[in-house]
Amino acid sequence: MSTHAADPLAALAALPGVPDAVDSVRKAVDRVYGHRVMRRRSNEISSEAALRGARASAALSGADWALEEVRRRTDFGGDPEARTVGAALRLGVEVGQLLSIWRQSPLRVLARLHLVAAGDAADSVGRPRKAGEAVDEPLIEAPLPSAAEVAARLDGLAELVVAGTSAPALVTAAVVHGELLALRPFTTHSGLVARSVERLVLIGSGLDPKAICPAEVGHAELGRAAYAAAFDGYLSGTPQGMAQWIAHCGRAVELGVRESTAVCEALQRGAA
């Protein structure tokens, strides 16, 4: 991702197909926010969206548990899959606490999210990886940038966030998500953190202020293969590839909206 233009994210927003994706997402979000259940039970929808989003993000990181199993379990400290699900759940809770900090200090937020995800005090936790440190990141098999490149690109990403942009929330969220996946800045849990930050941007931008549109659900529903293929488009850096990734993230948000709409309908029927 280049940071040379005054507002590179705004330039991406004009790529072919991206305005249509942005418009489609906005209409979908507006529809679920207009649901009659949202007027009196939005907190329940938000809580359920966080749970379902965490389950979906964990599935993309290799821990594909049934929703009811995630809902039922109280101990997430056992095997690696349980720890992954626990990390995703903790991130779902933490994101809402960091909205005010993100625009001023995104690197501090990333460090905090990794600390929360890792859940331990290992030396590698809460900081970008150093040269020679092994990286454990399921699904993403792209070549790893060097530690020096990670540090430089994280600084560039932080500068973009702090400077602000006129780009739509979907574009910003997709680029931040893609950049963190590309960098895999931490020794573990970078994918979980990347998807959590995508959600943070969507919430903090005002597109989804009540956190009821879990893009993670859509990413999981579209499937790991489609996620990886769309991400290859981001890695290519070409206009077509970037547009493909942004559109994929838009479709994921729309599927998250569909999930929460179904929850609204179930609550309205008294079945949830």
Q: How far is Cα 132 from Cα 19, in angstroms, rounded to an integer? A: 41
Q: HSE on the CB side for 78, CA within 13 Å?
A: 8
The backbone torsions φ and ψ at residue 136, rounded to the nearest 5 degrees and listed phi first, read -110, 100
Cβ–Cβ under 8 Å, residues 169 and 199: no
The whole-number average pLDDT for the span 60-81 is: 91
Mean pLDDT of the chain: 94
Reported residue count of the chain is 272
Given a cut of 80, is residue 71 above it in pLDDT? yes
Q: What is the pLDDT of residue 1?
A: 56
Threshold 0.85, pTM exceeds: yes
pLDDT of residue 272: 46
Q: Evaluate if residue 271 carries a pLDDT over 70.
A: no
100 contacts 89 by C-beta, under 8 angstroms: no
Query: 8-125+137-270 maps to which CATH number?
Result: 1.10.3290.10
Structure tokens at 126: 């809460």
